[in-house]
Amino acid sequence: MNSPILNNLFSRIQLNPRDGRAIYLQLSDGVRTLIKNGQLSAGQKLPSTRDIAKLMEINRITVGKAFEDLQMQGWLESYVGRGTFVTLHIPDLEPKKLQNQVVDKAQKVAGFAVHENQYRHNPYFISTAALHLDDGYPDPKLAPLKELYRAYRNQLTRSGLYRKFGSYGFPDGPEIYKETISRYLNETRGLRTTQKNILSVRGTLMGINLVCTALLKPGDIVVSGIPGWQRAEHNFLHAKAKHIGIPVDEHGLVVDELKKICKRTKVRMVYVTPHHHYPTTVSLRIDRRLELLRLANEYGFIIFEDDYDFDFHYNHRPLQPLASADENGMVIYCGSFSKSFSPAVRMGYLVASENVIEHLTNVRVLLDRQGDHILDNAMADIINDGTIQRYIRKTLAIYGQRRDFFCDLLANELNGAVDFTVPDGGMTVWTEFDKSINLEELARLAYDKGLYISNGKIHQYPSFNKNAIRLGFASSSIEDLTKSIHILKDII
């Protein structure tokens, strides 16, 4: 190379044989960075492949492949007898100071504004602890994963592959799944539906987001219980609705407070978890259920019924959903297999009047053209052959046993430190700790000893500051529950 400047530029391109990428691609990236930084200007002639190969101590063929790659991408132009040049079709950028490293780096900060303050902070934590008293998850060891895998595999080998894989399907879900879910809900929950009342969604959170996007306008009022589920509340605020929280007592949502709000302002939607209120697990008493439906009919608001763990009620049969008594199409019912089957299986459904489902489907296309039809159909298969029903019967007995054992542990081992009511259903115990116990510190020390529990922050509100958390029992064995409580006892 005759030019000491070019010689210096190319010598600073670092090539690493152990990088995992081909050397010619590393060289191509390095030259492209020189051009983007303005260190190689438009129209500038590059050294020959021979000279670059000699300088960088690599094969000339490698340099040639790098130049070919850059020509294909439009960065270089080559002319027979004249050589290779930086293309004229880029602006003549002002050169930047030479740096020790000129190969592209992963971007940490975007060059455009990100309006983070428009969104509520939605933290998440992935636990690696061996033990867990979680938010109320099922035990994946009990789930019929083999049966689901077999049903999914069968979907891949049956006829009609073009219909399944060669084109898009229905945005609201495959017909077999909708028909199956409709029949399943009618038989188990007393609903009166057809497949036109069903919309497949990827879990409860997608259902809430879709309803908020499609049915709420800025300024609309949404009412829900406090304490509640902050993920749902953040969706209300994201839709620019006004959220009003009302109390929850031992009988569920205090509907009389809702009535007062309805008398002075227009309510658009009420979000409720009547079967097992989140997070306290209490059930909405029958008189309040009926009054909630009556108020919806009188004042015209939507009831969004989140029935996240219908199947798991231990002392008696599950309470029928509000949707089963809805005669005027006021309820949007949402269910999910994520809590009853596995959080990793993102599969659920919305149930509503036909015109509402049509509208939600039209909006859903903008977010997600369609769900996983293969997984939906596989789930339909194991519902139709009775697998899910057998699984629920089996786990209901196991989870009931774990609930009783866990509550005995809490009462005997942490006596005086905690206060709780044995839940009629669900997968957690809403546990109030003595005020002298710092839950954030307790969670930190427990995690250091291999046990994950919540620090309680997600259940704190200006109007609600009980020193309480959800302790999930369903996902742990009897042995693990014992170890977990002993860890908490030692710390306390």
- Residue span(s) of the chain under CATH 3.90.1150.10 come to 131-136+390-491
pLDDT band at 148 (very low <50, low <70, confident <90, very high): confident
Beta strands per DSSP E along 322-426: 331-336, 348-351, 418-420
Higher pLDDT, 282 or 91: 282
Look at residue 102 and tell me whether its pLDDT is greater than 80: no
pLDDT band at 174 (very low <50, low <70, confident <90, very high): confident
28-51: pLDDT as tens digits:
999 998 888 888 888 889 988 988
186-200: pLDDT as tens digits:
998 899 999 999 999
- Residues 353-357: contacts with CB under 8 Å, at least 24 apart: 353/197, 353/329, 354/196, 354/197, 356/215, 356/329, 356/332, 357/172, 357/196, 357/197, 357/198, 357/199
Within 13 Å, how many C-alpha atoms sit on residue 339's CB side? 25
Q: 3-class SS at 8?
A: helix
- Residue span(s) of the chain under CATH 3.40.640.10 come to 160-385
- Residue span(s) of the chain under CATH 1.10.10.10 come to 4-86
pLDDT at residue 101 in the model:
47
For the segment 316-322, the average pLDDT, to the nearest whole number, is 82
pLDDT band at 97 (very low <50, low <70, confident <90, very high): low
C-alpha 272/C-alpha 245 separation (Å) is 11
The CATH T-level fold of domain 131-136+390-491 is Aspartate Aminotransferase, domain 1 (3.90.1150)
> Between the ranges 86-100, 177-191, 306-320, where is the mean pLDDT highest?
177-191
One of 3.40.640.10, 3.40.50.11930, 3.40.190.10, 3.30.70.3040 is the CATH number of 160-385, namely: 3.40.640.10
C-alpha 468/C-alpha 245 separation (Å) is 18
For residue 91, give the DSSP letter: -
Q: 3-class SS at 269?
A: strand
Task: Please state whether 74 falls in left (phi above 0), alpha (psi between -120 and 50) or beta.
Answer: left
pLDDT at residue 487 in the model:
96
Q: What percentage of the chain exceeds 90 in pLDDT?
A: 57
| CATH number for region 4-86 | 1.10.10.10
Residue labelled with tokens 């020959």: 48
Question: Kind and range of the H or E element at 11?
Answer: helix 4-11
Task: Please state whether 83 falls in left (phi above 0), alpha (psi between -120 and 50) or beta.
Answer: left
Number of Cβ atoms within 10 Å of the Cβ of 189: 20
pLDDT at residue 92 in the model:
57
pTM for the model: 0.78
**CA 80 distance to own-chain centroid:** 56
Contact at 8 Å (CB) between 250 and 229? Answer: no
Question: Chain-wide mean pLDDT for the chain?
Answer: 88
